[in-house]
Amino acid sequence: MPNEIKLADYKFNIPGKIDVLLGAEIFYELLRPGQIYCGDSRLLLQNTVFGYVVSGSVGDEVRDNNIHCGLIRDSDLNTTLRPIDLLPFEQNSCLADVEKAFLQISLAPKDRDVVRFLIDDGENGVQVCRFNRVLFGVNASPFLLAATIKTHIGKYMEKYPVTVRTLDHCFYVDDLVTGEDDAKSAFDLSSKAAKIMSEAGMNLRKWISKDCELMKQWQLEHFDHLNMNDFVNHPHRVLGLLWHPQKTISVFV
């Protein structure tokens, strides 16, 4: 590098705090006349209002040592990421959905003034109304539902500790994805889970499992369950995932 050149940051090789971040919209306003090519080194010295800055390309010998594999093609990315989980409860896995989960969450009366809205009632003029339920259909909806479920099931920790821990870890928004080592334990879990959730007005429905014995028990106890014949040989949708019961894996869709 020429001796007469003054770099904008002569301590560039020493780690330190960032002084300022400059956006691309003002980048070209900082450039000043003056470019110097440093021989065969690929380095370019560009004059700016701060002094000279150094830029240039990276040699092939450096890229050959790159340990990162950039996945660009959709097919490659899809093949790499689609299988995401091998479920730990292979023998007696089961799914259930909370019926109208987002309609069961009410606001405390003291909080309803913050969700007031106006309705033109014709002859009676404009009326001021308040939402009684949590306002859903916005970005925070899954968070509000998860927080409500977590608070509700926490009331039963002393009475049903195992079931509560399962519900706390196995809800995927409003879908319950869980299982047990045997059909008896799975039925006991599903019964207690259904009881806990029903006391909040959230009925667990569309129960499904690849275990025939468990499905028969649900049928005898009048659980709202799906048709097993339509389920076992086809993947089941869990929001943005597909569950393959025969392979006991979940994949992106």
User: What mean pLDDT do residues 206-220 have?
Assistant: 85
- Residue of higher predicted confidence among 92 and 113: 113
Side-chain-side CA neighbours of residue 144 (13 Å) = 16
Identify the CA nearest to 236 among candidates 250, 219, 225.
250
- Residue of higher predicted confidence among 147 and 93: 147
- Residue of higher predicted confidence among 189 and 249: 189
> Do 150 and 68 contact (CB within 8 A), yes or no?
no
pLDDT of residue 83: 52
| Distance separating alpha carbons of residues 98 and 104, to the nearest angstrom | 10
| Distance separating alpha carbons of residues 58 and 60, to the nearest angstrom | 7
pTM over 0.85: no
pLDDT of residue 157: 93
Q: What percent of the chain has pLDDT over 90?
A: 9
User: What mean pLDDT do residues 1-24 have?
Assistant: 78
The amino acid at residue 23 is: G
Q: Which residues contact 83 (CB under 8 A, 6 or more apart)?
A: 249, 251
Angle among Cα 160, 163, 166 to the nearest 5 degrees reads: 145
In the predicted structure, residue 79 carries a pLDDT above the cut 90: no
User: What mean pLDDT do residues 133-141 have?
Assistant: 60
In the predicted structure, residue 16 carries a pLDDT above the cut 90: no
pLDDT of residue 230: 63
pLDDT of residue 161: 94
In the predicted structure, residue 154 carries a pLDDT above the cut 70: yes
Phi–psi pair at 98, nearest 5 degrees: -80, 125
- Residue of higher predicted confidence among 18 and 158: 158
| Distance separating alpha carbons of residues 156 and 154, to the nearest angstrom | 5
Element (H, E) at 205: strand 204-209
pLDDT of residue 125: 80
Banded pLDDT at 250 (limits 50, 70, 90) = very low
The tokens describing 6, both together, are 């003054």
> Do 193 and 168 contact (CB within 8 A), yes or no?
no
Query: Could you give the C-alpha distances from 174 to 82, 97, 214, 228, 242, in angstroms and in order?
Result: 22, 6, 22, 21, 15
